Structure formats: structure tokens, C-alpha cells
A and B are shown apart, each in its own frame.
Chain A
């Protein structure tokens, strides 16, 4: 299984801007064409944003039409702090909601507007 060390690959421990997430996602897509599994190692990172997680992993699930189980089977996340792992779960769940709506032919915009709290 190939390992991508995120900090080395992106050249920074600061993982905030969504563009960095997109760069990682692009590399993951290429690697995942060649192999079934990939390890994404977060050793040495300092900051991590939800925008990064959305663009790196949430968008990956939407673009590749992956459910959560497939994501977990094919992408192994290592050395990520517990709080950030929870945020990653949230990003994947959030992407699944959007993906599910698209698959059902529903308009996510209408879905979210109908869930406006009263």
C-alpha cells in the first residue's frame, strides 16, 4: 500500500486552504486508479480546517461516488488527532448527504431549505 505523507507532499504543516485539499484529492485520485488502498499519513501537521477536509476527502467521495464504507476500505488515515478525526467523519457524512440527494435525483438546495429550523 502506498503511503502519502501529507505534510511532505504539500510541503507545509498548515492544512487550511481548500486548494491544498484539492491538490491532495487530485493525487489520491491518480493513485487510486493504480491501487486499491492508500494510506494518508498526517504526521507533523499543525493546523487542519474543515475546508481542507471537505475538499480533500468529502469531495473525493462525491466525485468518485463512494459511500462511507468504500472510503474507509480504500483510504487509511493515520496520525490524525482525535478531534480532527471527528471533523473528518463529519466531512464524510456531510458529503454522503449531498451525494445521496444527488443519487436520488433530489435538489440538495431544496432539501436544505426545507430543513430550515423554525
Chain B
């Protein structure tokens, strides 16, 4: 399997991969991919953290460049052989990060990660674009920890692709998952597919927080921001898939293979003209 693309099929393969990790013996995974996108790394990090509670498990890749990349981002679960890989000469590789804990601590860590670690790798951007990036990424992290409740919090892996002019970041938690929360809340029928649960959660005003709580805008505002930015988002939870492309078109479908928890993959376009036209340049 080559994780080249950002397609429903590629996300669907994560579920297969997760089951292979659970079943694999010996406790070393040979990653036969030539390229790993941030969403694969975030998924691998949390999945291997979970597995490592019961056994020692590590990973190496058939491809040197993948080992080099994983080492350079400080991927924790590398096999000794992979740790020998020399780092890439370029310094634009962003290290993986995990968030967990109380909201105020997470807020401080997210802002510091974005400002000190991520921002230096990105092209100069307008203050408004950067403000929206920080606010939206914080909301995703906060939601993943607050609603997901996974033991290991949430992993975030990101990369700027200068030739493509976009920044990609993936957040993954192995917590409750959106379908379980939405069904427990009674917002959809138990027989509804997982993608219907994600669809419910992505609508303005919908939240699984208690009835008298004002909430349910974060995901809606993120989608609006990405429409303006011509960026995209994919959310996978259970076997449900939601995608919003660069034209603002939404897709909901069921994947063949479910994943535990929730994966959110976001692409932000760093072309300031797009944002300034609508928001700033008046």
C-alpha cells in the first residue's frame, strides 16, 4: 500500500493497517510504503502507543527515506535499525507532537507549538490568516481531548509542502470517536451509519455537550474558514468519512474498514491573496 493520496480509500486503509499492527508477530512492523503523509504518522503514533501498553513494539520501513523522515520528526516507536537513518539535510521537517491534559495547559502547548515550531517553517502570512490557523487548530485539539477522552490524548503531525503551497496537519485520538458520542447523545438513530453521525456533528450548533450548554460552532467555523481559504478537511471516525474539498463540496460515505477514535486531516493553503481578498484587504 502506498499512502500517497488523500482519498477516502487511503483513509480506509488505515483501519486495515491498524488491525495488522494489533495482530503482527514478531513485534516489529515493516512499513512498506514509500511516502508517509502526516495523517499516517499521527495514526501510527497513537496506535503504537496503545499497542505498547501490552508489548514492546517498534517499526521500521523498507525505504530509507521513510526511516529518515520518521527519525527526523522524533517518531517514538522506531526500531534500532531505523534509528541509524541519517536525517535529511533540509531543516523544514516538523516534529510530531502530542497534546493531553487540562484545557489551559493544552492551550498553552498548542499556541507554543504553532508559534515556535510550526510558524518558522511557513511562508510569511497575514496576521489574520495566522490568527485563524491558531484558533481553528486549537479547537480541533480541544475537541479531540474533551470529547475523545483517549488515554494518550491527541497526536498531531504536520508538514509544509512548499512546491504545492499548502500546509497539512493531522490530528488523531483513539478515544470515543464521533459516532459513539453522537449515538449516546441520542442525536441519531442507533441504526444510522457512522458517516451520518459525523454529518450531524459537522452542522452549525450541534454538540454532544449537555443541553443547556452553549456550544457546537467550532467545526462549523473551521469549515467556513477552509472554504474561504480553499483548503480542505477530512474527518474519519469509525467507518464514517467526511470530506470537504477546496471548492467547499462535502462528501459523506462509509469506509470498508473502521478506525478507532477520530482522525482529522486539514490542508491550509498559504496563498495570502485568497484570504485577504475576503477578509483583510478592504
Contacts and interface: CB of A to CB of B under 8 A. Distances in A.
Nearest to A87: B221
Contacts of A87: 217, 221
B211 A107 contact: yes
A5 interface: no
Nearest to B209: A54
A97 to B, nearest CB: 6
Interface in A73-91: 83, 87, 90-91
A95 B200 CA distance: 18
Given A17-B107, A50-B139, A109-B185, A83 B128 contact: yes
Interface stretch (A26-34, A36-44, A55-63): A55-63
A94 B217 contact: yes
B205 A54 contact: no
Nearest to A48: B135
B214 A16 contact: no
B131 interface: yes
Contacts of A54: 213-215, 217
A84 to B, nearest CB: 9
Contacts of B216: 94
A8 interface: no
A62 B205 CA distance: 14
Contact of A94 (B128, B196, B205): B205
Interface residues of B, number: 35
A17 B106 CA distance: 9
Interface string B92-131: 0000000000011011001100000000000000001001
Given A49-B139, A94-B205, A117-B203, A112 B218 contact: no
A47 B205 contact: no
A109 B104 contact: no
Contacts of B26: none
Given A94-B216, A95-B214, A116-B187, A16 B205 contact: no
B89 interface: no
A46 B128 CA distance: 10
Query: Which residue, B139, B196, B200, B212, has most C-beta atoms of chain A within 10 A?
Result: B212
Given A94-B214, A94-B216, A112 B206 contact: yes
A113 B187 contact: yes
Contact of B211 (A51, A83, A94, A109): A109
B104 A17 contact: yes
Contact of B279 (A55, A83, A95): A83
Given A59-B214, A116-B188, 17 more contacts: A16-B110, A16-B134, A16-B138, A16-B139, A17-B104, A47-B131, A48-B135, A49-B135, A50-B139, A50-B218, A51-B139, A83-B132, A94-B205, A95-B214, A107-B211, A109-B187, A112-B205
5 contacts: A14-B111, A18-B103, A51-B139, A94-B214, A109-B186
Kindly list the 9 A-B residue pairs having the minimum CB-CB distance in the complex, ordered from nearest: A58-B214, A50-B217, A54-B214, A17-B107, A17-B103, A95-B214, A113-B187, A59-B214, A16-B138
